[in-house]
């Protein structure tokens, strides 16, 4: 049984005994299938074997059926996946087998990207352990050593209090593949007039010409040609909008399980989340076994506590209140079993495609039964996380590029502390110093910025070769240390034992190994339940030691996700 299946089969509401660890493969999963599903599965398997012809021997029935399950029995999508993963390219055969996450990250760096529309930005993923294309792009540029602006020596925290500026909040949009996340965000931006009707009409035309007309709204977020032709989100898209009280940053995440590392990067920058579930018959149920559940677990492990559940596509079930109630009840059940407090969870029935209950209330008579808040009202009622204003400066770089203001401009969300023009900064892991030439918030020049804000920094006196996406910018006097071994209090998503893992923190991604399981912990009290267990079972909490191949900037209080073979195996807090 693959890890992914083990994880999917595990029922967090019930006991550990539910976990099927006997390794006997897909047949157990088969028992969960309804007769109709079973029939579709068998027919789909035969069709794929016939289409693949002689190549068919390169994939197992289990791999075929996992693909069919994942793509809702869509034979074409399953074949495309199986070919890309197991059959082509043949030249890979002799090389050491890269991890699935490496495959995804490599594919992304090759993927061409269209020029983003105004206000939309799509970041290229970059492995933290490799010199990515960012450094390639900028390494031949010369260092900016123009005289620095004099620091105004502002008391930034006082300025922040005085400014009484709008709240700023970032939210990540997560959920199973095709739940309608990008369409919902496209609709939100259209109805708030951030995107105009003409752009959408243009997208409708272009999308129709490649047989994807239902994705026109999603194209507001899905800007890459590969995303558009495949009809799936691959990487996080960011976009901004404001209401009377708040400046919001949207982080639209991919739902496909192959792109979980990008979802992790998005979730690491978020104050709260919108979990989109597809109310269509069968789709909700499939999502619950897939990324609806995995994303919720990841959010929880990464410290996100507020969730707005968007019960989407209600148009497909005639705005059935019974369906909305049934879904709300089931999602509440598993969210509370995952550790969310239900007072922080709310549900909105909506249709992203048609625009009901997003900015304006639904005008469909069948939706009359709902008199609660719209999605925008729920967003406005969501408090950003407490800002760590008084802690030392930490900012994770999410983009690095050349701009008209500087050979090296970086952007990212300030995790803690504050900064101002003229400040000296340290970039880790390179340990190189740089200076803040100028700053921008929301494309406006500013003198300072504080924790929680997404800032653009024009740097000087640093060679761009020392700066990569995923690096941390910090205070020169209280810098973050670079370490290669750490202890983490982790929730196991799968069986843990001494094994190879990929360590993910935001965009950063490094190869490592679980070297020791120090203790199994009591989930409620946090006390040691058993010292040095041989393995950790799914849903248990344990203290484990991880050693990485390289030194990476990490410190206590940060959250990391451990993945292996393309599946999330654990996540937790650095001690």
Note the residues at the interface with ligand GTP (CB under 6 A).
177-183, 214-215, 218, 232-233, 254-256, 312-313, 315-316, 351-353
177: partner contacted, choices ligand GTP, Mg ion, none (Cβ within 5-8 A by kind): ligand GTP
- Does 8 interact with Mg ion (rule: CB under 5 A)? no
- The residue among 477, 382, 459 whose CA lies nearest residue 172 is 382
Determine the interface stretch with Mg ion among 233-241, 452-460, 462-470, 558-566 (rule: CB under 5 A).
Answer: 233-241
Min dist. Cβ of residue 338 to Mg ion (A): 23
Measured from the CB atom, the residue of 182 and 301 that comes closer to Mg ion is 182
Min dist. Cβ of residue 183 to ligand GTP (A): 3
- The residue among 381, 280, 287 whose CA lies nearest residue 334 is 287
- Does 454 interact with Mg ion (rule: CB under 5 A)? no
Min dist. Cβ of residue 136 to ligand GTP (A): 28
Peptide bond before residue 15 is cis, with ω within 30 degrees of 0: no
479: partner contacted, choices ligand GTP, Mg ion, none (Cβ within 5-8 A by kind): none
Tokens of residue 511, six digits: 């190869």
Measured from the CB atom, the residue of 127 and 351 that comes closer to ligand GTP is 351
What do you get for the CA distance between the two ends of the chain, in Å? Answer: 32
DSSP of 362-392: ---GGGTT--S--HHHHHHTPPPPPPBTTSP
Measured from the CB atom, the residue of 7 and 319 that comes closer to ligand GTP is 319
- Does 181 interact with Mg ion (rule: CB under 5 A)? yes
Measured from the CB atom, the residue of 256 and 437 that comes closer to Mg ion is 256
- Does 233 interact with Mg ion (rule: CB under 5 A)? yes
Measured from the CB atom, the residue of 180 and 266 that comes closer to ligand GTP is 180
- The residue among 51, 50, 79 whose CA lies nearest residue 64 is 79
384: partner contacted, choices ligand GTP, Mg ion, none (Cβ within 5-8 A by kind): none
Min dist. Cβ of residue 409 to Mg ion (A): 27
Min dist. Cβ of residue 263 to ligand GTP (A): 9
Residue 190 CB partners (closer than 8 Å, separation 6+)? 196, 197, 200, 217, 220, 355
Min dist. Cβ of residue 574 to ligand GTP (A): 29
In 3-state terms, what secondary structure has residue 401?
strand
DSSP label at 356? Answer: B
Q: What 3 state SS string does 203-259 have?
A: HHHHHHHCCCHHHCCHHHCCCCHHHHHHCCCCCCEEEEEECCCEEEEEEECCCCHHH
- The residue among 103, 182, 134 whose CA lies nearest residue 471 is 134
The b-or-e profile of 90-111 (16+ CB within 10 A means b, else e) is eeeeeeeeebbbbbbbeebbee
Q: How far apart are CA 278 and CA 174, in angstroms?
A: 12
Measured from the CB atom, the residue of 253 and 574 that comes closer to Mg ion is 253
Min dist. Cβ of residue 257 to ligand GTP (A): 10
Min dist. Cβ of residue 218 to Mg ion (A): 6
Measured from the CB atom, the residue of 59 and 273 that comes closer to Mg ion is 273
38, containing H or E segment: helix 35-52
Min dist. Cβ of residue 339 to ligand GTP (A): 24
- Does 466 interact with Mg ion (rule: CB under 5 A)? no
Phi, psi of 474 (to 5 degrees): -140, 175
Category of 318 on φ-ψ map: left (φ > 0), alpha (ψ -120 to 50) or beta: left
Tokens of residue 78, six digits: 């399953």
375: partner contacted, choices ligand GTP, Mg ion, none (Cβ within 5-8 A by kind): none
Measured from the CB atom, the residue of 181 and 468 that comes closer to Mg ion is 181
Determine contact, residues 156/448, Cβ cutoff 8 Å.
yes
Number of H helices, E strands in the chain: 16, 23
Q: Using CB under 5 A, count the residues that bind Mg ion.
A: 3
Nearest-CB residue for ligand GTP: 255
Measured from the CB atom, the residue of 358 and 554 that comes closer to Mg ion is 358
Measured from the CB atom, the residue of 181 and 509 that comes closer to ligand GTP is 181
Min dist. Cβ of residue 277 to ligand GTP (A): 10
Measured from the CB atom, the residue of 129 and 182 that comes closer to Mg ion is 182
Min dist. Cβ of residue 119 to Mg ion (A): 17
- Does 182 interact with Mg ion (rule: CB under 5 A)? yes
Binding site for Mg ion (CB under 5 A): 181-182, 233
């Amino acid at each position: 049984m693959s890890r992914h299946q083990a994880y999917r089969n595990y029922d967090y509401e019930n006991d550990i005994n539910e976990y099927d660890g006997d390794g006997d493969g897909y047949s157990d999963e088969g028992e969960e299938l309804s007769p109709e599903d079973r029939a579709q599965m068998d027919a789909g398997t035969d069709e794929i074997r016939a289409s693949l012809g002689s190549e068919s021997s390169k994939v197992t029935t289990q791999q075929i059926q996992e693909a069919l399950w994942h793509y809702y029995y869509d034979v074409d999508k399953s074949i495309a996946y199986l070919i890309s993963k197991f059959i082509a390219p043949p030249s890979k055969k002799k090389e050491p087998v890269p991890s699935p996450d490496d495959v995804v990250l490599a594919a992304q760096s090759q993927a061409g990207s269209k020029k983003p529309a105004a206000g939309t930005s799509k970041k290229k993923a970059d492995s933290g352990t490799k010199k990515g294309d960012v450094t390639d792009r900028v390494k031949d540029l010369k260092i900016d050593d123009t005289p620095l602006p004099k620091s105004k020596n502002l008391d930034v925290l006082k300025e922040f209090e005085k400014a009484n500026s709008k709240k700023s909040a970032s939210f990540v949009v997560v959920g199973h593949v095709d739940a309608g996340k990008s369409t919902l965000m496209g609709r939100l931006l259209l109805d708030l007039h951030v995107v105009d009707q003409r752009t959408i009409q243009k997208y409708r035309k272009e999308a129709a010409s490649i047989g994807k007309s239902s994705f026109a709204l999603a194209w507001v977020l899905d800007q890459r040609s590969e995303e558009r032709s495949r009809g799936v989100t691959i990487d996080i898209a960011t976009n901004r909008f404001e209401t009377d009280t708040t400046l919001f940053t949207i982080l639209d995440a991919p739902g496909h399980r192959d792109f979980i590392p990008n979802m992790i990067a998005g979730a690491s920058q978020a104050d709260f989340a919108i979990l989109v579930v597809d109310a269509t018959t069968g789709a909700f149920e499939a999502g619950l076994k897939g990324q609806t559940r995995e994303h919720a677990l990841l959010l929880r492990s990464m410290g996100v506590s507020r969730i707005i559940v968007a019960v989407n596509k209600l148009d497909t079930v005639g705005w059935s209140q019974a369906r909305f109630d049934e879904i709300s009840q089931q999602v509440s059940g598993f969210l509370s079993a995952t550790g969310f407090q239900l007072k922080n969870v709310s549900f909105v029935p909506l249709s992203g495609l048609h625009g009901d209950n997003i900015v304006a209330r639904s005008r469909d008579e069948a939706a009359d039964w709902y008199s609660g808040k719209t999605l925008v009202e729920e967003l406005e009622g969501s408090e950003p996380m407490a800002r760590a204003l008084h802690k030392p400066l930490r900012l994770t770089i999410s983009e690095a590029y050349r701009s008209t203001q500087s050979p090296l401009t970086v952007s990212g969300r300030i995790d803690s502390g504050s900064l101002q023009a003229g400040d000296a900064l340290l970039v880790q892991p390179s340990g190189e110093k740089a200076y803040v030439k100028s700053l921008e918030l929301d494309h406006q020049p500013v003198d300072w910025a504080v924790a929680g804000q997404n800032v653009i920094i024009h740097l000087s006196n640093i060679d761009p070769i020392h700066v990569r996406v995923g690096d941390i910018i910090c205070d020169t006097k209280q810098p973050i240390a670079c370490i290669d071994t750490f202890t983490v209090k982790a929730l196991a998503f799968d069986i843990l034992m001494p094994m190879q893992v990929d360590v993910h923190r935001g965009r950063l991604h490094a190869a490592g190994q679980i070297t020791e399981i120090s203790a199994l912990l009591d989930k409620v009290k946090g006390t040691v339940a058993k010292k040095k267990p041989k393995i950790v079972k799914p849903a248990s909490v344990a203290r484990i030691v991880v050693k990485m191949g390289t030194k990476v900037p990490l410190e206590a209080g940060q959250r990391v996700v451990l993945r292996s073979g393309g599946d999330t195996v654990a996540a937790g807090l650095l001690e």
